[in-house]
Amino acid sequence: MGELDRRLSELREALAGQAPTGDFTAVLRRRRQLVVRRTVLTGTVAALAALVGVAVASPGGGPDVLTPIPAQSPTVTPSPSPSPTASANPSPAPARPLPFPLEGGAAIRFAGRSTVIGIFDAGCTGAPGSCTPLVERSDDGGATWRVLSSLPQPSDSGGGPQLQTANGTDLWATTDGRHGYVSHDGGRSWTTVPALGGSVAGGEAWALTCSIPPGPNSCRPRVLRGPASGDTLTATTPPATSLVLGMQFVAASASTAYLFYGMMRASGFGYLLTTDAGRTWSRHSLPCSGSIDPTPDGTLWLLCAFEPGAGNQQKQLYRSTDSGRTWHSEPPPETSGYASNLVSIDATTAWRFGGRAPIYRTTDGGQTWQVSLTSVFNTGTGGPAAFAAWDANTAVAVFLDAVYRTSDGGRSWQLSHLPT
């Protein structure tokens, strides 16, 4: 790793104007070489695991301890529909064997139908602060990419960057849950801002900070809000409570935002809702914990997952059309693969993906799901490192340096690669 460390040091110096541009290009070339080496390594590990019957499961831990918050109990209406059967779609064979992601975190976001912006952790060694978060952009739907910059601070392996944008010019990013950044030139330069997590909607940027104490597994949230085109965010009326860690903050519009808490644990989960730009907050409970995503029209999609094992996991899908006050249970999805992420488009359309699973899409509110890229994402290879969808037809998935894109709802996918 000495050579890689030297190259990463040259990359940071180059971005600061202290080294020639040629060194920057060399580091990007090293990223492709590292992908190939890790492909060989991962293939060896997978073969050994198969011999000894090793089952890979998602990491977990014991439940957080926190006094429950009184909340409004949701009304759940079961669906009478039978379990759906996902229809198989043709999938392209990968250009070369693709291992389970080892590089680090990644985040991509559409800024228009053809514009995709991403943050990719490169050169991760597993040591704290060893990843270089590269900011890259595509203006042709993911077919070609160019490197714009790197974020000011290195990040940790597995920390996972987050990216939000309203228009492709004003970008808000976080890494490691500790560092926040804003760019107003499409990602070419960045300013540091305090933020644990954030969201952009309706031209407004929302940021979440967390003060500790009150407890080792909880914190007192503070929500900030302001124009996405500026650098100054103003504190809203703080939610008068402490919350379980594992929070997810999502803005649905300029005035409506959700603060979900305890989403990574089996107890103490729920959410706070504001519909008046943070002046007041109401507390609500959820049917279960899992991946949740709101749409601007007030629809909430909730995908709950239970104990995983040997490539299988029980799942349950819920939808709400009144901001979570009442819920409707949809037919349970398949048990194969792990449930990790849900990307909703509107009241009837959503995409989902997860570990050891392909990509799924529904256009009928979760009654049926279409499956694609099964030859790329499955129980042997893992799932996408990052995924984004513009609408019911247009989506992009990233796996190491491979980029898969579709414009026909997943019926066909085109393969390209990140810069080398």
- Tell me which residue of 279, 370, 385 sits closest to 35, measured CA to CA: 385
Task: State pLDDT tens for residues 251-267.
Answer: 888 999 998 877 555 45
386: which strand partners? 398
Q: CB burial class (10 A; 0-12, 13-18, 19+) of residue 299?
A: buried
pLDDT of residue 36: 37
Is residue 302 within 8 Å of 319, Cβ to Cβ?
yes
pLDDT of residue 290: 84
pLDDT at 41 over 70: no
Q: CB burial class (10 A; 0-12, 13-18, 19+) of residue 23?
A: middle
pLDDT of residue 158: 61
Mean pLDDT, rounded, for 53-72 = 31
Q: Which of 189-198, 227-236, 290-299 has the lowest mean pLDDT?
A: 189-198
Mean pLDDT, rounded, for 284-311 = 87
Instruction: Report how far residue 342's alpha carbon sits from residue 354's, in angstroms, rounded to the nearest whole number.
Output: 9
pLDDT of residue 245: 62
Domains and CATH numbers, the chain: 73-417 (2.120.10.80)
Q: What is the mean pLDDT of the chain?
A: 75
- Tell me which residue of 276, 267, 356, 342 sits closest to 310, measured CA to CA: 356
Instruction: Report how far residue 291's alpha carbon sits from residue 391's, in angstroms, rounded to the nearest whole number.
Output: 19
pLDDT of residue 17: 41
Band the pLDDT of 66: cuts 50, 70, 90: very low
Task: State pLDDT tens for residues 127-167.
Answer: 888 888 999 999 999 999 999 999 998 887 666 788 988 78
